[in-house]
Chain A
Amino acid sequence: MSSISAYGAYIPKRRLPLPLIGGRPATPGAPEKAVAGFDEDTITMAVAAGSDCLAGTERSVVDELYFASTTSPYTEKQSAAVIAKALNLRDDAHTVDFSGSLRAAGAALSAAFNAVSASPDKTVLVVASDSRLAAPGSPLEQNFGDAAAAFLVSSEGLVSFDDCFSVNREMYDIWQGSRDRHVQSWEERFVVKHGYNEAVRDAVCGLLDKLDGTISDYAHLACYGPDKRSHRAMTSMLGLNAGQVADPLFGRVGNCGTAFAPLLLVQALEQAKAGERILAVFYGDGAQALSLTVTDQLLPGRRPLDWQLNNRQAVRSYQSYLVSRNLDANADDRQASGGISATVHFRERDADIGFIGARCNQCDTQQFPATRVCYGCFAKDQFTDVPLSALTGRVLSYTKDFFFPSSDPPVIAGMCEVDGGARVYLQMADSQDCELRCDLPVEFVFRKIHQAGGKPAYFWKSRLLDQTPEESTNG
């Protein structure tokens, strides 16, 4: 039996109030969307969701990592390999990118179920993440949001996979050519009527036929929707009442692309009780419907959706959002330089991406990054790797650097002591609205540090553990 044994999600803290896009002021309670910060992208969000999902799970049990997205930062270079490194998965974990369609997450999830059905000893981590760019000022920009979700698939989970059914459809509804900067779309009514409505109906009916079931078998629906109205029309056409439908979060997160149905599936999993069934529907170049049965309630990752929805900070202005996405005219000039050295990056990948420190076998002194000779007892080459990313730590000291170039100054940086004693100099994420003091507890998050030379350069940042989840607009 193939099943979901854990799940997690990530919604970036930053929110863009939608009125700002039209040049209007953001009134309290205005609709908004989640936007990746200047130091976040598809990969860092995937790492955050993956680590939320894997909280409490030994990382070495993961045999395969399937990553689904339409917005990998690379045209040629695998994102799953970066994510596997950042999550400290095994070197022999099989990594795969699923891309090219909004339906990629459904494809990744069903592939994982099939892989575990074929080899019941296998554990597969599926992560979907998207951060799609719409043309500034376009209706799609109002619609798109950023988020990620992750599922651990094994034969021992509490939510079992029943079956799935998919249809493919060739049409230009939503697409992005290899040279397009932004997502393109055809006229909305055409897209909904002949794309979304028909494909979703066919996939759901096909699945019900296959299972010899009816829609009333399902207590929860996690269904992609191109927009709020079309989503509501679809769910009522399927005959489900509002209480059974995962809130599509328009006006809070937005249409998060490949991660959209997965994020709603996380919501359904948080609510589902023993014996209930969940229908998940993925859309893009066709549609895929997937049926799950809950044998017992499966608890969420470390950060339930409610926490993530409430942990928010409104971006200062539309301009600051454009800058953070490199949509302003000057951004590329600022970052004109060679960027990271591929050879240095290669040598340092365990430290920089894996966040691996070292513990001296003789005196237990911990250090980051690993060096050859111990600070404490001067023993040479007597170290054991210590993964630091899932640990917590505390602030030893900090500064706010207004000089270092950033699209969102100042850069908050400081020294942290990781539990166990390793000292690390790190930038601080998502903390500009927080009061800083020495000794405050922190966790560690994977972020994009810069993209000088067109090469995204990732490293870890600290983040205050007690992020006060309350209204704030001074970011």
Chain B
Amino acid sequence: MAEGIRDKVAIVGAGCSQFGENWDMSPQDMIVDAAYEAYQDAGIDNPQEQIDAVFCGAVYPSRGTAEVAESLKLFDRPVTLVQNYCATGTDAFRCGVMSIAAGMYDTVLIVGFDKPKDRGVSGPSVMMGTARGLPMTPAAWFSLCAAKYFETYNVGREELAKIAVKNHHNGTLAPKSMLKREITVEDALNARMISWPFGLYDCAAQSDGASALILSRSSLAANFKGDPVLVKAVAISLAPDPQSDPDFDFLGWKPSQYAAKDVYRQAGIVDPMKAIDVAQVHDCFTLTELLTYEDLGFCERGAAKEHIESGTFALGGELPINTDGGLKTFGHPTGATGVRMLYENTLQLRGNAGERQIKGATTALSHNIGGAPQTCGIAVLGMN
């Protein structure tokens, strides 16, 4: 068994740009905002000397590595672009963690960013380059479990609406979220249909944003200003395309199940519901969040409904999920999302999350799932 990365690397700085329809900001503006907040948080005053390497994550067409190097003027050192669908941010983080654990670097900058709002469309791009596989829209892909799950567990659009209501509420408490508006279950149920059963409020918005983290070797973390947050585990796992997988059951997503198994093994977690105090999960659609409760073992298969009813995953619940409002209120600039979740978990573990603070949180999980979906990234952070 490989030695692993547990406790070898610490987050010593975190930053996040404002998320939204940032018509007046370039990708470089957002990268600078996020990175310099992280520098300040870590007490880095000379990044040109102090940052050994950069791992960045971005999915939409951009200049990638050069975008980051040029905006921060970080030259004469490695800058790497990582892509892994919606798990891109988490995978850029993972690559940075591994590079330190491998002894290659001491201090690494992680930057996740994307700028989908420069494409001139309000939703995802529509692909017409093939005849097969259409509609090739995220809503159509992620709704594929709905019919089967609903019929099997007597769940409906009301349960999904409650997840949207929860996340909209949490988003009102997060200064950097895009949407700061409470909604009701009726608002969600009456909104225009996007892809059954997803109405408008079941879908994450499109937004621009950037997030950044400073990683350090744990043994050197005391040299930085902020409280260090330890990396307990990080996993990426791929699963067959649900559109051709011969034994897919349409009741949950395999990538999440695979990555959870790996990350819990790395972190030594046996009962995730007990071990984890706060979690950010990939609510690209409300159903994705619901299935994730079960895929990550927070409750039994089919039990999500009762936990939604009882408020288990609300801010005051047993395991608060998407404390900052999630993709629902931040939108989903793909490369930024995973890093934004790690930023939120860093704030939560240090006790810096303001009105949405979960008291006494010491272990936090973040989760992304992407593709059709085929890939998942999960990271677990801890304070001791």
Contacts and interface: CB of A to CB of B under 8 A. Distances in A.
- Secondary structure at the B interface, as helix, strand, loop or mixed, is loop
Contacts of B131: 340, 345, 352, 449-450, 457-459
Contacts, number: 131
Interface in B109-152: 123, 126, 128-135, 137, 139-140, 143-148, 151
A402 B131 CA distance: 18
Contacts of A459: 131-132, 134
Nearest to B243: A425
A403 B194 contact: yes
A437 B244 contact: no
A4 to B, nearest CB: 33
A157 B196 CA distance: 50
Given A348-B132, A410-B196, A401 B243 contact: no
Nearest to B126: A405
B151 A438 contact: yes
Contacts of B192: 402
A421 B148 CA distance: 18
Given A366-B246, A375-B246, A421-B246, A404 B134 contact: yes
A376 interface: yes
Contacts of A422: 246
A453 B128 CA distance: 9
Nearest to B127: A337
B245 interface: yes
Interface in A328-361: 335, 337-341, 344-345, 348, 351-352
A455 to B, nearest CB: 10
B371 interface: no
Interface in B144-173: 144-148, 151
Interface string B224-245: 0000000000000000101111
A399 B148 contact: no
A338 B129 contact: yes
Contacts of B240: 375
A437 B242 contact: no
B147 A449 contact: no
A411 interface: yes
Contacts of A458: 131
Contacts of B145: 397
A339 B128 CA distance: 6
Contacts of A449: 131, 134
Nearest to B198: A399
B193 interface: yes
B80 interface: no
A70 to B, nearest CB: 25
Contacts of B18: none
Contacts of A400: 193, 195-196
Nearest to B145: A397
A73 B243 CA distance: 30
A427 B134 contact: yes
Nearest to B128: A452
Interface residues of B, number: 34
A410 B143 CA distance: 14
Interface in B186-200: 192-197
A118 B85 CA distance: 61
A369 interface: yes
Contacts of A369: 132, 244
A415 interface: yes
A331 to B, nearest CB: 14
B75 interface: no
Contacts of A414: 144, 147
A375 B244 contact: yes
Contact of A344 (B126, B129, B139, B196): B129
A111 interface: no
A414 B129 CA distance: 20
A401 B246 contact: no
Contact of B132 (A352, A371, A421): A352
A351 B144 contact: no
A175 interface: no
B198 to A, nearest CB: 8
Nearest to B194: A403
Interface string A423-436: 11101000000001
A367 interface: yes
Interface string A185-222: 00000000000000000000000000000000000000
A427 B135 contact: yes
Contacts of B123: 403
A410 B144 contact: no
Contacts of A427: 134-135
A401 B139 contact: yes
A421 B248 CA distance: 11
A401 B146 CA distance: 13
A318 interface: no
Of B131, B146, B244, most buried by chain A (CB within 10 Å of CB) is: B131
Interface string A380-407: 0000000000000000111111111100
Given A404-B140, A438-B148, A367 B250 contact: no
Given A351-B132, A459-B132, A404 B148 contact: no
B246 A396 contact: no
Contact of A450 (B128, B139, B151): B128
Q: Which 8 A-B pairs have the closest CB atoms?
A: A404-B135, A457-B131, A425-B243, A452-B128, A459-B131, A400-B196, A399-B143, A449-B131
9 contacts: A339-B128, A340-B129, A341-B130, A348-B130, A352-B130, A368-B244, A369-B132, A401-B135, A411-B140
Interface of A: 335, 337-341, 344-345, 348, 351-352, 365-369, 371, 375-376, 396-405, 410-411, 413-415, 421-425, 427, 436-438, 449-450, 452-453, 457-459
Given A335-B128, A371-B244, 12 more contacts: A340-B129, A341-B129, A344-B129, A348-B130, A367-B246, A399-B195, A401-B137, A402-B193, A404-B140, A405-B126, A413-B134, A450-B134
